[in-house]
């Protein structure tokens, strides 16, 4: 693990030097975890050409040394991490211009950078975006192994859950069964709020699980993830509780074919917008383009939504090593919705679909 972190720090140092910077102050917790392994909820990391400094507080003194001690100098600060920064920076050699992560610094913290205590004004703070996130888009073998495990756990939990779902349960009750199964199968967290959306509520792409009672004949959309070693999976399947109607089957078939079209043809080097068009084009040709209002997918890793985006707005080529979701959907207000989501690794040769839960429409109960 230390070797992987050294590689990531070396790649970041190249990016910093290319941007004519001497150092970076990393304040995004997923970025800190990626670079040095520390997984606590309070930290700042400074990376210079020769040093790595991790600031955290007393709650994490044991954990920080265990997780990051081989690549970073760990400093435990009992009061303010930002004040401690000013105490530590003067001793760091050859550091004048420092990047800060402008997407991850609050305005209040930004004020602390530009209005330092006496004597702190010698540093130039320069905003930077995506320096670490860009590195995170390409997963290494250990990251892929964790995502693979997170996908395995999610699918095992889903299989156990659907055997227990019956008409008459609330969405929240189904959610409780699934989340219990996820923990029992080894998921370390729920990477995002589990979506259980039934009947006409399945038309809400990001529904909050509710006390609605799932009725016979209802669509049941389940979108959730598992976590292994900090890495997420993200999978959606849509079921029918009881007997499916011809219309439910037909819409499900369109979404499934759209998913298969994109999963079968996506590859590294293709622009994010062209991947999006693979699935969207199929749904449009079937006459449902207006009902697919979100992007095709997103990268997954330490966060459930990260780069690269499979979106009409992404003009950049997809990198080898990215793991992305493919999640087309059709949403019809008052009727319901169908989404089928898989996780796909982009390889030099093509792709590997990491999720394999059946995609046919399954009737439950």
Q: Which is nearer to Mn ion, 116 or 299 (CB)?
A: 299
Q: How far is the CB of 114 from Mn ion (least distance, A)?
A: 37
Q: Which is nearer to Mn ion, 116 or 230 (CB)?
A: 230
Q: Which is nearer to ligand GLY, 52 or 153 (CB)?
A: 153
Q: How far is the CB of 155 from ligand GLY (least distance, A)?
A: 15
Site string for ligand GLY, 317-346 (x = CB under 6 A): ------------------------x-----
Q: Which is nearer to ligand GLY, 5 or 136 (CB)?
A: 136
With CB under 6 A as the rule, give the number of residues binding ligand GLY.
5
Beta strands in the chain (DSSP E): 23-26, 44-48, 52-56, 73-76, 97-101, 124-128, 195-198, 219-224, 227-228, 231-232, 235-241, 297-299, 306-310, 323-326, 329-332, 336-339, 342-346, 351-353, 363-364
Q: Which is nearer to Mn ion, 57 or 223 (CB)?
A: 223
Q: How far is the CB of 325 from Mn ion (least distance, A)?
A: 4
Tell me if 155 contacts ligand GLY by CB under 6 A: no
Q: How far is the CB of 327 from Mn ion (least distance, A)?
A: 5
Handedness of CA 343, 345, 350, 356 (dihedral sign): negative
Q: Give the C-alpha separation, 141 to 159, whole Å.
A: 27
- CA-wise closest residue to 306 among 272, 265, 355: 272
Q: Give the C-alpha separation, 50 to 307, whole Å.
A: 28
Sites of contact with Mn ion (CB under 5 A): 234, 325
Q: Which is nearer to ligand GLY, 143 or 341 (CB)?
A: 341
Q: How far is the CB of 11 from ligand GLY (least distance, A)?
A: 27
User: Taking CB under 6 A as the criterion, which residues in 208-247 touch ligand GLY?
Assistant: 223, 234, 236
The total number of residues written for the chain in this structure: 365
- CA-wise closest residue to 242 among 148, 165, 135: 165
Given Mn ion, ligand GLY, none, residue 179, with its beta carbon under 5 to 8 Å by kind, binds none
Q: Give the C-alpha separation, 278 to 262, whole Å.
A: 5
Give the residues lining the site for ligand GLY (CB under 6 A).
192, 223, 234, 236, 341
């Amino acid at each position: 693990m230390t070797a992987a972190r050294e590689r990531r720090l070396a790649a970041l140092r190249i990016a910093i030097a290319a941007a004519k910077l001497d150092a970076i102050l990393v304040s995004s917790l997923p970025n800190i975890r990626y670079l040095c392994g520390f997984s606590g909820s309070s930290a700042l990391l400074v990376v210079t050409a020769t040093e790595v400094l991790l600031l955290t507080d007393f709650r994490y003194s044991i954990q920080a040394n265990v997780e990051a001690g081989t690549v970073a100098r760990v400093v435990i600060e009992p009061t303010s991490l930002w004040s401690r920064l000013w105490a530590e920076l003067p001793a760091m050699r050859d550091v004048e211009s420092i990047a800060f992560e402008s997407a991850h610094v609050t305005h209040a913290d930004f004020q602390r950078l530009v209005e330092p205590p006496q004597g702190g004004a010698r540093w130039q703070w320069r905003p930077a975006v995506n320096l670490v996130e860009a590195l995170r888009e390409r997963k290494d073998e250990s990251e892929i192994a964790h995502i693979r495990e997170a996908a395995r756990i999610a699918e095992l939990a889903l299989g156990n859950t659907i055997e227990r779902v019956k008409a008459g349960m609330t969405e929240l009750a189904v959610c409780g069964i699934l989340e219990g199964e996820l923990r029992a199968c080894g998921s370390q967290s729920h990477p995002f709020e589990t979506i259980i959306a039934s009947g006409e509520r399945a038309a809400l792409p990001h529904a909050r699980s509710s006390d609605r009672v799932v009725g016979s004949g209802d669509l049941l959309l389940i979108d959730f993830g598992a976590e292994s070693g900090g890495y997420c999976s993200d999978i959606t399947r849509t079921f029918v509780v009881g007997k499916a109607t011809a219309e439910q089957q037909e819409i499900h078939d369109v979404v499934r074919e759209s998913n298969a079209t994109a999963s079968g043809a996506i590859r590294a080097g293709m622009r994010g917008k062209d991947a999006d068009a693979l699935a969207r084009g199929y749904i449009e040709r079937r006459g449902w383009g207006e009902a697919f209002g979100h992007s095709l997918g997103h990268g997954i890793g330490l966060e459930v939504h990260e780069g690269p985006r499979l979106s009409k707005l992404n003009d950049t080529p997809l990198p080898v090593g990215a793991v992305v979701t493919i999640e087309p959907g059709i949403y019809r207000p008052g009727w319901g919705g169908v989404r089928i989501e898989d996780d796909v690794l982009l390889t030099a040769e093509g792709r590997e679909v990491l999720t394999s839960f059946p995609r046919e429409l399954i009737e439950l109960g």
